[in-house]
Amino acid sequence: MIDPVLEAWQRSTAPRRFWLDGGGAREWSGRRSILGVLEHDDVSLTYSAARREVTRHASGSSEVVGDDVFEVLSRELELGGPRDQWFGYLGYACRPDLPARPSPDVPDGVPDAVWMRPSRVRLVEHAGPDSPPGWRNRRLSTEVPAGRRQFHHPGGETAAVPPDYRAAFDRVQERLHAGDTYEVNLTHRLEVASDLDPLAAYLRLRELNPAPYAGFLQHDVPGARAWLLSSSPERYATVSTGSTTGEGGSTTGEGGSTTGEGGRVLETKPIKGTTPRSEDPAEDDEHRRRLAQDEKYRAENLMIVDLLRHDVASVCEPGSVEVPQLMEVESYSSVHQLVSTVRGRLRADVGTVEALRALFPAGSMTGAPKLRTMEVIDEVEATPRGVYAGAFGWVSGDGRADLGVVIRSLVTAGDGRYVLGTGGGITVLSDPVEEHAEAMLKAVRLLEALGTDGDS
């Protein structure tokens, strides 16, 4: 039976609301959902990277209040005090000092960032060790030829790699062989037309693809309309406080961990390495074993861990950065993923939003080294990333925060067009057929949620 608090939230007609969904969470991320509905006079912020404008919305009016969303959010948290909480997302182009292409400045385009401060939030505890009753948590029926890592394309084993993807892949290989970069997270966007209501689409997505960073955000404000439907498995960052567990972790405010005694702890869990699930238990175990041992995936993961150790160290106390988990396999309904954990104790002079900015965008979504690789991405990707590859979650005035990476997600302006991003890490060992098939595998559940196979 649906929780009455969740049921009431679903019936709400408020134009601004969010649901950070803990129902499909991992043990490390907790099982509590946070629900919020903004009243007319509650405040929200949006950001346009193309115009370099942060806009404050409240009581039916909008006002430009700055040109850097990180700075404005930090200022709002300082003014609001330790009980202040903000919920929202940061799109890929939110750091203007980095070479990330902004989305086109068009009427009713999806903002590059949305943050909301509700007067009240409600909590829902989810039962069960795995997932809420009624969730199918189905696996995809996929096969991997014996002795190979190869993915089967969802459209068939012989599905051709699109020419534009092949061209981008070849340009990335040129940069890799020239020594400009060691790894590039090559992505692309798919646009799907659907008359499905965003909330209905999200309810289908959460059934098909339970995830620790699942969630729904609606900001239905003229000139700044955005719906984000997330089923992300990847932690962008948590900031926890104190010397005990139970503070910080996940979009639900649970889990997390600390290192050392006291202070704030910054933690990130990059994912690099994906293989499909199989309905045959023996074959599924073999897929899992191959992922753990695959040379390419281990090289990808290690490069991103090194990048994130540098990013984390830039804002943490010397000697506090550690890697408590290196290349462990986590299994989800459709894929196995290779996950590491990087953690450090924040310096006292570093604010929480400042720490989040130092990691942004996620190294797993750029490649290494970050700056030069982002320049390569801007050169080879056909479209701006928009919200995709950003971060989604919450930040609190008491110093805590928890955000996931915006992957396995749908974005819409409420106009019947949904955009999703997908991709993967490219190294000199990569094969274009396998890489494109992996990217499409990651998109399957999103397309299923919209009732399409991606051909529309």
What DSSP character marks residue 316? B
Distance CA 248, CA 255 (A): 7
98: left (phi over 0), alpha (psi -120 to 50) or beta: beta
The answer to whether residue 234 is catalytic is yes
Dig out the tokens for 67 from the structure.
């040109």
CA 178 to CA 180: how far, in whole Å? 6
Closest CA to 212 of 450, 408, 10: 408
Angle at 218 between CA 386 and CA 238, to 5 degrees: 70
Any residues with CB less than 8 A from the CB of 157 and at least 6 apart, and which?
none
Give the H or E element holding residue 152. none
Q: If you compute the radius of gyration of the chain from its CA atoms, what whole number of angstroms results? A: 20
C-alpha 9: how far from chain center: 23
| Choice among 183, 234, 247, 300 that is catalytic | 234
Is 334 strand, coil or helix? Answer: coil
Exposed (0-12), middle (13-18) or buried (19+): which is 413, by Cβ within 10 Å? Answer: buried
Contact of 36 with 14, CB cutoff 8 Å: no
What is the residue-wise DSSP string for 382-436? SS--TTTTSEEEEEETTS-EEEEE--SEEEE-SSSEEEEEEEEEE-TT--HHHHH
SS3 of 23, please? coil
Could you give the C-alpha distances from 67 to 42, 53, 112, 387, in angstroms and in order? Answer: 21, 5, 12, 18
Asked if 434 is an active-site residue, the reply is no
Asked if residue 142 lies in contact with residue 438, where contact means CB atoms within 8 angstroms, the answer is no
The residue whose two tokens read 């797993």 is 364
User: Whole-angstrom Cα distance, residue 332 to residue 208?
Assistant: 11
Residue recorded with tokens 């990048």: 307
Bridge-based pairing of strands 43-48 and 235-241 is unpaired
* Strand ranges, E, within 139-296: 183-193, 213-219, 226-232, 235-241, 264-269, 271-276
One-letter amino acid for residue 339 of the chain: V
The active-site residue, picked from 183, 247, 269, 272, is 272
Distance of CA 255 to the CA centre of its chain: 18
Active site residues: 234, 272
